[in-house]
Amino acid sequence: MSTKEDPAVTNFRNYIRIKTVQPNPDYASSTKFLQDQAKDVGAEFLVVECMPGKPAVIMTLPGEDPCLPSLLLNSHTDVVPVFPEHWKYDPFSAHKDENGDIYGRGTQDMKSVGIQYLEAIKRLKKDGHKFLRTVHLTFVPEEEVGGLNGMGKLVEMDLFKRLQVGLALDEGYSNPTNAMTAFYGQRSICSLVVTCPGQPGHGSQFLENTAGEKARRIINSFLGFRDAEERRLKENPDLKLGDVTTINLTILEGGVQFNVLPAELKLSFDIRVCPAQVETFEDKVRGWCKEAGEGVTYKLREPFRQMEQMCVEEGKNPWWDTFAAACKKANVELEKEIFPASTDMKFLRAMGIDAIGFTPMNNTPRLLHDHNEYLNEKVFLRGIDIYYQLIHDLANLKPF
């Protein structure tokens, strides 16, 4: 392996070393790093506090026609916690092994993408390219804890509305095959808590109407549906994870003592509802609660709603057509899917802004949030080439 490293790789590794790890991200250091990056690409630089201590960085490269809807390149600066004892190397050392695999928290999710944007723009400017449309880069906080105090606050600001975003690019995730995946929507989040009240009493009795019996029925209904959806996914090769609904029991609460039947038990479920089931899913939940017994109720952690999707039919959306054509020029085998989890693009899509989740990372195991997260430097560098084509074509899309 050559001892001379591509400067873009060095830049990426330096970004990984900044410990923007939840729950106490070092946003001050990442903001200073990004300020230096803005100088390198010749971009206007602005810091906006979404909430006190939670800064969003906005870089702007004005286009030749600033009246046209702009291109937004978004990434988040925070990363999820680590368990260092399970890592081969220090998760913030950005260690590169003899294969060129760079280990570190954020290598896949999603500091690689933020640097790829910047390095692609550097090359475009070096090659003398100009942009018809204004290009904005946003580096936002708090995505890994839901984004409400990051992008969720930013989109509400008049400053954001003045960016006039026409299309936003944000994260997807790695594809273990030769293809790369573009996400045009996401499943609806339906996190809820089911409360099961019951007859309290001594643990030695056969009492009726207990909280435990009701909780068992709730678990059977919810996880029985989970099993059916898992079978549906496995039996139909045309389905992807985003096409089915996942349900997982994540928290159990209740009880005071071994020999005392509880007056109440609470069960928390993380549920991601596929678009085809959104309209009927809450009715299912109501039915399951009614079947479980008297007094069983549920409460949503946030309002349950259909998630907006971008039109990706050929010939019907110039943004998508341009994106797909640019991928083809870059020899990208493209697959389009519903994102199975959640990203900051839910806030933009809710405002009617087209958004694509795309991480140019193929032939790579999916390790976001996992131990030993890594990205190979060749895959990283190819991603810069791909964004070079994407940014060039999207930022020069003629008015439509």
The set of catalytic residues is: 78, 143
CB 143 within 8 A of CB 150: yes
Q: Residue 356 pairs with which residues in a beta bridge?
A: 169
For residue 269, the cross-strand partners are 192, 249
Cis peptide preceding 62, ω within 30 of 0: no
Q: Please, which contacts does 13-19 make with residues 24 or more away whose CB atoms are closer than 8 Å?
A: 13/94, 13/96, 13/102, 13/104, 14/94, 15/106, 15/111, 15/114, 15/115, 16/92, 16/94, 16/102, 16/104, 16/105, 16/106, 16/107, 16/111, 17/92, 17/93, 17/94, 17/104, 18/92, 19/92
- Find tokens 């602005």 and name the residue: 46
Q: Give the whole-angstrom CA distance, residue 135 versus residue 132.
A: 9
* Beta strand residue intervals within 38-81, DSSP E: 44-51, 54-61, 70-76
Q: Which two tokens stand for residue 172?
A: 């997807």
Those residues with Cβ within 8 angstroms of residue 228's Cβ, 6 or more apart along the chain or in another chain: none
Closest residue by Cα to residue 254 from 293, 296, 294, 215: 215
